Structures are given as C-alpha cells and as structure tokens.
Structure 1
Amino acid sequence: MPELPEVETTLRGLRPHLEGRKVRAAQVRQHQLRWPVEPGFTRYIRNARILKLERRAKYLLVHTDKGCAIWHLGMSGSLRLVETGVAPEKHDHIDWRLDSGLKLRYRDPRRFGALLWTVADPLAHELLSHLGPEPLSEAFDGDYLFASSRKRKLSVKTFIMDGRIVVGVGNIYASESLFQAGIRPDREAGSISRARYQRLAVAIKQILQQAIAQGGTTLRDFIGGDGKPGYFAQQLSVYGRTGEACPSCGRAVRDMVLGQRNTFFCSSCQR
C-alpha cells in the first residue's frame, strides 16, 4: 500500500508538471472506486487552473481556481504523466488532459483509491478533519506522544499507526521506527517512558525522511509520479525479514500479528 513517503514522492514528482497548468478536459472510465466519483466531476474540473499541490496524511490535495480535488491512492493506486497518444490500459480509470499536452493518469487495479471534490476547505472535509499532526512537523515530538499515550493499553505499534494520533506512519515505517528506537511493538502504549517516546519520535522522522529521499518503498504496484520507483525497500531492517539476521545483533528477526497486521521485530534489540 502506498504510504506517506510514496504519496510525498508522487507529490514531488507531479508538482512541477501540474502547478500553473489548466485541465482542459477529464475522462472518468470507472466511477466505482472506494467512493463513487461524482457524476459531475468532469464538468467541475474542466478548464480549472491548478494552483498548488499539497499532501495531508496519505491524501494528495490538488487545489484549483474552482475547487479542490482530493486523491487517495488506496492499496494499489498510482498517478503518472503520459503523452496524449498513450492508450489507457485495463486499470487506468481516470485521465486529466492538461494544456501542456500531457495527461495525468490514475491507475488502480484494486479500486480502493478515491477521487473526491470539494469547494470548501479540504482540511475541514470529514475524511481529513479528525487527523492528527504530520509526523515531520514541529507539532509532533516525544512529549506529544507521551502525553497522548497515558492510560492507553493498546500496543505502541497500533498507537502510532492511528491517524488520529499521528498521520502517515503505516505498517512498514512503524515496524522500522520501533526497531530503530529499540521498543517492542507489543508494549502497551501507556507503559512507555517519555525518554523512550522521544527516541521513537526521532526515529519516525528519520525513517520517513530517508524513505522520502529515496523515493518511497516499492513493494508491488507503486510507481512515483516522476516514473521512478522507490528504493527504500532495500534498506529495511526488520520489515518482511522473518528468520533473517537482525542487522544489529545477528539474531533471527521474528514476526507477530498486531491489529491484524504482520509486525516484524528483534526480541533482543527491542524491549
């Protein structure tokens, strides 16, 4: 599933090609995504000028002079730029024809993504209004995690993956951050000290920044908006490495299921 670094990579790849451009026309070949694309969407976006792109959590916000398009890539979605003459394939559901001669094309084999439209403040949209702080912002630090976790009995991994606590820390990056901070993923969130949460907040920031710098993690279908896949998967310490040697102590990496997600950790390095 595309996580925060993949969406940020998409944003950075698309931004120079979209900002300032007009959407001459749009075509929706498949309306039935996670939520149906509004029947009037092609009319709303026609001749709209794209003012800026930004990311909130895993949502890509495309602000125009007519309203804002809210994209979510779901589990297998991707956005890329193609030449006008490139024919759509089976899972290419949406095209925006730009005044540059290129098309913005949305591909989503599983159709768990979404394209929504609003003329109001997109940050007040029901899907975004309840979200916690961005992990790379100044609002997110160890003190915030410590205060938010008091009396919480759920596992720390489930805690940091809750978008109401902090956005964008998906399964891959939660496992990697907890490993770097030396914290077992099944520890109760409320039992962890302030000092350990400070280490965890730093680890989350570092892991996400490294992944963004390297173009996100390519596991299945994701391709960045600039056409380049991510390479962070080559540097994963524990995620998906059950039975392999821990890069720190050499013991076998273990796995467990937490919150219906596979979780990877080192029982020696993580306490």
Structure 2
Amino acid sequence: MALNNTYDARVQQETAVGAGVQLLLLVLLGAAIGLGPAGWLTGLAFAFATWAVLSRALHRSCLRSFGPANRVTLGRATLVGGVTALVADSFESAPPVTLLVALTAVALLLDGVDGKVARRTGTSSALGARFDMEVDAFLILVLSVYVSMQLGPWVLLIGGMRYMFIAAARLAPWLNAPLPPSFARKTVAALQGICLLLAGAELLPHAANLTVVLVSLGSLVWSFGRDVVWLWRQSRRETSAEAVPEARLPELVGR
C-alpha cells in the first residue's frame, strides 16, 4: 500500500508541474501581448480543469508512472491552454494571429508523437489514448470558436460534433460500442485541425477560407455518419444473434 501511495504521489506531482507550466505560459503571454480578463480567467480555468480531471483519472487508473508519452500529451495540453486563452481574449481585442497560429501549429505537429513514444517505450495505456483524444477534441473546439467569428456560427458544428455524439450515446447506448481501427477516420480527424488553422491564419481570401472549412465539415459529417451506420448495423446483428436462441428454445425443448 505504501509503495502504491509513493507511485501515486509521484504521478500527481507531474500533473502539478504541468499546471505550473500552464500558469507560466499564461504569464509569458500576458507579458507579451497583455492578456485581458477573459483570457486570464479562461486560461486559469483550463489549467485547473486539466489538473483536476487528469489527477482523478490517474488516481483511478493506478498507473505506476506518468510515462514519457503522457508528458508529451501534457505539453500539448499546455499549448492548447495558451490557444484557449488567446481565443477567449480575442472577444475583447484583436487577436495576435501570428502567436495563435504558432502555438496551434506546434500542438498539431506534436499530435501523433505521443503515440509513437508510447509504442517505442512500451507505455501505451487506455488513459494515455483517452488523454490524447480529449486534447485533440478540445483544440478543434477552440479553433472552431475562433474561426466561427469570421465565417459564422455554423463552424461550431466542427468542434461540437464529437460532444454531440457523446451526448447522443447517453440516449442510445449502442453508440458506445468500440469502433474498428480506420485510417480514413484518423485522416479526417487530422484534417480538421489543419483546415481550421489555415482558415484562422487568414492567409487566403474569404471565399477560399469558406471552401476549406466547408470541406472540413463535409468530411467530418461523412466520417461520423459512416461510423454511426456501422455501429447501428453492429447493434442490429447483436440483437438478432441474441434473439435466435430464444426463438429456437421451444423447438429444442420439444425434442
């Protein structure tokens, strides 16, 4: 028990360090561009929420070590926290587009690195995969909020689609079934961040940005639609398989 407590304390210390680094990044952003109240409050809320949720998840998973892959993901989460603060601040003043794009680009470039590190070091875990996915999803949500200020609220569908799927799964539990690996799904997921970053950078004409984001949304709708259809068909098969023995029971008993 004492050994487990020692491991838990070490893991929790790393999450505390991550929160500290997040605060340091906010201080640096504040010194560089002068974050307003919205940026500070949002950034601090993100840091606290990340620390609290991750600490609880780590405690429940009983991991013996935080691991190098999770450290990479935590670094990405820190960058996402900075992007979140900048986007929140953009509601009050003109955003520093170059800085926002730089932080986002690094966060996107590091996506996938944590997975490779986990496989090479033999430290893959369900918690690590979930942590990586949640960081990706939240970054897409924040970017969709930012781009929606230029192109309209419909862009929020990109960032909100996964959360709508989770909400729908509470009403339809068959949506919680595991999906088979899909290269197309991974490609579409990666495309969202790239397209939103490109549109947010404002390097292209308005019409081109609109086209890029529409392509992003269309591919996401296709990907989610395909998965929902697969899950529905799988649930029908399982229901049919469970019903067959019950239908044959009288006949077997009669024999």
More strand by share: 1
More helix by share: 2
**Higher RCO by CA contacts (8 Å cutoff, separation 6 or greater):** 1
